Chain A
């Protein structure tokens, strides 16, 4: 079993979002256990933890696989709030799922209240390129509008699966170091002041 996050290595919390049936669980399971599940079984919510080596540093990743169906929208907010990075997945063979990403993005921004939250737009099922319904340039355009990276993946062939998770973790990590720099900078200030004060007294 996993250690407590505070004691162990850095922990990055990733949330999978997207419409039903686009392959969020498939991507997650492929990343976690190298398995591809053919049967479709709607997820309510699942959570996984894995130790990975990110650029030579051991970190833990928490993946929360959410429900695509609207039925579970009520509990989604609770999860979004605690997410540090988001993989917004759609299927390149399903235009509706692509349109839905807009809504998911808005919901995330509403909950997180942060335009620059680590976020990747993921076009899944790229092995089914012959059935593509969403043109590549449209995807890239949307990613550009949101100023987020766009990656196409295939949970079936494992193409880019690791990439999306690792890219997102890198974003989360750099985001965290930025934040901690800001706070530690402040702490330094305080030390300085204190020392100054002492000399004064």
Chain B
């Protein structure tokens, strides 16, 4: 297998040492965003070779931009080129005056030439050092690009700033690779924004193979063009991969996944546990084997476990299609066990049990956060929320990387774009909420009337405290409670405060109708009860209970929205009042009850509103979770009540 990256060949253990010994340091760097430290380390670690070869040129280039003399420039140029320009200078303008005049022009001219020259030079070098050819070229191209970019700006910037920028740009190309670092770092750097902690490159490869290639006979059997593979590696290392522009193909996806796994500095099963895994693999008893594997897997770091789960489940999907791709567990393990840095036997064992070992993992296709080129934003509030969370995750990653010194034009573009999408999504959500509010307002009166029979259930679920009020030392929170009371009064007059009493509450209501064997409408709950012999009894009952629970939930949410709205109204009034009072105090009219200085009111109100907004954001995040929990809760509630009717 000749997929080792050139870097590794040249500096054996380069990545390994970085990711193991410097791991903790780097991780802290990451969040700290100490730019200097990081770029220094960069040039030390990865750009070492670069330093040697390119620093001179870079320096010369930077000097060029200042007040450098022509001699200096010539030093940095290749001999052939410098000769040319010299002769050209003499023949074109023999008089000194002219020469001096043209010097300025010359300077800029040379710069451009130098930029052009670079690829040429590069080729020469490549002949000498075939091994480094690709990488060098890539880097050169990057440099060239960055230098061109810099050139546009340079007139605005001092020399110092320019050099800083160049080093920052280099850091991008080399500083935060995804390949060749530990699983946790790779996961952190190349995040999936839908909450699954898997390096994006692994996810993309698996997604692609799962979708297009499971039945292909070439799967894991063909090698891609090496330049293409390296191209993708670079794209992922630089976070420039765009599914729409560079679609993977079968050989590339297979090999990229293998490359990632092989370049991990530590086996995915970790060095510590490796021996024990191998031991278990040689265990003769199959059932025991599974148990022990399970135990060992639980000791793995979470990201390692996720990675293994995805990779193994994907491999399992491959061998499920043995008919088409002619790969079974044995042959696949033959091909890939070394990639996973484990023995053939262990891989077969893991493949054999993988469905039982990872029952919680499902291979879900990754839908990356939308970009401005995506057709359109989601319409439903739930979808908007999901998308918003993805975008938030992406945004925070961009920010943290930028703070750590990972700054490029492209990254900046992306920052603005993501921000724009978030703004649009938020506006959409807001307008949707407004619409909702309006329709609820219309429904309000009818809703209260119609739900009165089931209002008892409504009250059993405590309305979550409106978030806004937490930050307030509530002076008057009557509007929401008033509302509640209304519905309570309409019901049997039972007011229940705790959820735990729900089951106790409902039992007495239910007991009586069950005793009657005829078709009956339950007086208290209002349910249609069929005779016990009727086969549809359960189904009907279940539907009714479910209906009630859902209605209750709906009401609860409505009540909550109403209370929130009242809260907003109240806050606004409070704000207005204070504002008015403040104005009043500014005018010479003294306020009998309020004495503090004018500025205080505004500050107090501002403080509270700000707090509210922050909490509101948190609430949105929690809201989704709440909903899921609630759903589960309702399902259980239904079961519970079904049981009671059965008794």
Interface-located stretch among A41-49, A135-143, A152-160, A165-173? A41-49
Q: Does B420 contact A (CB under 8 A)?
A: yes
> B610's contact among A69, A81, A179, by CB below 8 Å, is which?
A69
The distance in angstroms between the C-alpha atoms of A47 and B374, with both chains bound, is: 17
- A186 at the B interface (CB under 8 A): yes
Q: How far is the CB of B528 from chain A (nearest CB, A)?
A: 47
Question: B613–A189 contact, CB under 8 A?
Answer: no
Q: Which residues of B contact A47 (CB under 8 A)?
A: 416-417, 419-420, 422-423
Specify which of B156, B375, B419 is in contact with A114 (CB 8 Å cutoff).
Answer: B156
**Contact bitstring B566-586, A, C-beta under 8 A = 1, else 0:** 001000100000000000000
Q: Is the CB of B109 within 8 A of A189?
A: yes
Set of chain B residues within 8 Å of A179, measured between Cβ atoms:
152, 155
Nearest-neighbour CB distance to chain B for A139, whole angstroms, equals 21
Instruction: Report Cα–Cα, A41/B616, bound state, in Å.
Output: 11
Q: What sequence of 0s and 1s flags, for each residue 75-119 of chain A, a beta carbon within 8 Å of any chain B beta carbon?
A: 101110110000000000000000000000000000011100000
A4 to B372, CA, bound (A): 8
| A198–B258 CA distance with the chains assembled, in angstroms | 52
Q: Give per-residue flags for A33-51: 1 if the beta carbon is below 8 A from chain B beta carbons, else 0.
A: 0000001111001111100
Number of residues in A with C-beta < 8 Å to the partner?
Answer: 40
Given the complex, which residues of A lie within 8 Å of B407, measured CB to CB?
A: 78, 81
Which residues of B (130-157) have their CB < 8 Å from a CB of A?
151-152, 155-157
Q: Which of B88, B422, B568, B606 contacts A200 (CB 8 A)?
A: B88
Task: Tell whether, in the assembled complex, residue A2 and residue B403 are in contact, meaning their CB atoms are under 8 Å apart.
Answer: no
| Chain B nearest CB, measured from A52 CB (Å) | 16
Q: Are A41 and B109 in contact (CB under 8 A)?
A: no
User: Which among B156, B376, B402, B423 has the greatest number of chain A C-beta atoms within 10 A?
Assistant: B423
Give every chain A residue within 8 A of B413 (Cβ-Cβ).
Answer: 5, 82
Q: Is B108 an interface residue when CB atoms closer than 8 A count as contact?
A: yes
Chain B, residues 419-436, CB within 8 Å of chain A (1/0): the string is: 110110010000000000
Minimum Cβ distance to chain B for residue A56 (Å): 26
Q: Number of A-B pairs whose CB atoms are under 8 Å?
A: 91
Which residues does chain A contribute within 8 Å of B558, judged by CB atoms?
none
Q: Is B291 an interface residue (CB 8 A)?
A: no
User: Is there contact, CB below 8 Å, between B109 and A193?
Assistant: yes
Known A-B contacts A21-B606, A81-B407, A113-B156; the reply to A46 vs B419 at CB < 8 A is yes
User: A183 on the interface (CB 8 Å rule)?
Assistant: yes
Q: Which residues of B contact A49 (CB under 8 A)?
A: 420
**A78 is contacted by which of B373, B375, B399, B568 (Cβ under 8 Å)?**
B399
Which A residues fall within an 8 A CB radius of B? Answer: 1-2, 4-5, 13, 20-21, 39-42, 45-49, 62, 64, 69, 74-75, 77-79, 81-82, 112-114, 179, 182-183, 186-187, 189-190, 193, 196-197, 200
> Which residues of B are interface residues toward A (Cβ below 8 A)?
88, 91-92, 105, 108-109, 112-113, 151-152, 155-158, 161, 372-376, 398-399, 402-403, 407, 412-413, 415-417, 419-420, 422-423, 426, 568, 572, 606, 609-610, 613
- Other A-B pairs beyond A39-B572, A62-B420, A81-B412, 20, CB < 8 Å: A4-B372, A13-B416, A21-B606, A40-B606, A42-B609, A42-B610, A46-B419, A47-B417, A48-B420, A49-B420, A62-B416, A64-B419, A74-B399, A74-B403, A78-B399, A78-B412, A78-B415, A79-B415, A113-B156, A193-B105
What 5 A-B pairs have minimum CB-CB distances, sorted nearest first? Answer: A47-B419, A82-B412, A47-B420, A46-B423, A186-B108
- 9 A–B contact pairs at CB < 8 A? A1-B372, A1-B373, A1-B374, A13-B416, A74-B399, A74-B403, A186-B109, A190-B112, A190-B113
